[in-house]
Amino acid sequence: MFTFSLTLIRHGETQYNRDKLLQGQGVDTVLSETGMQQGGAVGRYLTDITFNHVFVSNLQRAVQTAEIILRRNTHCSGTEMILDPLLRERGFGIAEGRPKEDLKNMANAAGHSCRDYTPPGGETLDQVKQRFQKFLKVLFEVMLDEHGWSAPDASAGATAANGTAAAASDAVPGRSADDGLQGVPVHALVVSHGTYIRVAVKHLVEDLNSSLPHGVKMSHLFAPCPNTGISRFILTLSQSDSGPVISAARCVFTNRKDHLENLTAAE
């Protein structure tokens, strides 16, 4: 078995986010000044976490966010980022660059809810999930190529993946940036996008049966991720005839934004 942590972070704010315009894949915008500050805040929050691997969407807003995080990190300033188009935001087709309200109107006209609607030329949510599944295979290959199946303290990590999540629950005070990482030997960071992360979380929870933090509300678990919001899972891999598979998964938290609470004062 091989156990590692997976920390997912959404990129910082862009002007398109502020103006409630859809970006998707075709609109490749940079961070706003607020987005840069958010990146600095999440970087400071995670400054003492040693990320062994960093995977990033190759869209500018994600790359910039990851660069800021790594510059702020005590241990990862020289860590190489792997840019992967599999981590790109959902494609919104003809709706990209247009107000989110337009997408709602298009969905209503087609008789669909906005969340389930796919605009012409866009990706379905199932296609986004398939991209995430492909990314997981890439992630497993990179991790195992470097660390092998016998990473240090792997047995302790497996216990962490199977244990209860009460200590890291959003209902428990005194939350820390290293929640869930105790006894886990290897840590991966992913910087991606809002819809993509929500699809990833749903896949890990609903399809792969992640255990959940005590008392967590499903409305929070699957809520839209805020800019630089953090989600974390502990995953254990086992060998199978078809290659490595997730044999145990634990959701530590989703959509955490503690680092943003004092952003104005900090900046």
Query: Which residues form the catalytic set?
Result: 11, 89
Q: How far apart, in whole angstroms, are the C-alpha atoms of residue 153 and residue 181?
A: 12
| Residue type present at position 68 | I
- Of 119, 123, 56, 50, nearest in space to 87 by CA: 56
Q: How far apart, in whole angstroms, are the C-alpha atoms of residue 47 and residue 57?
A: 21
Question: 175-194 burial, b if ≥16 CB within 10 A, otherwise e?
Answer: eebebbbebbbbbbbbbbbb
* Contact by Cβ (8 Å): 237, 2: yes
3-class secondary-structure state, position 20:
coil
* Contact by Cβ (8 Å): 235, 246: yes
* Contact by Cβ (8 Å): 147, 184: no
Q: For every residue of 118-168, which 3-state class applies, written as one string?
A: CCCCECCHHHHHHHHHHHHHHHHHHHHHHHCCCCCCHHHHHHHHHCCCHHH
Residues 6 or more apart whose Cβ sits within 8 Å of residue 245: 237, 238, 239
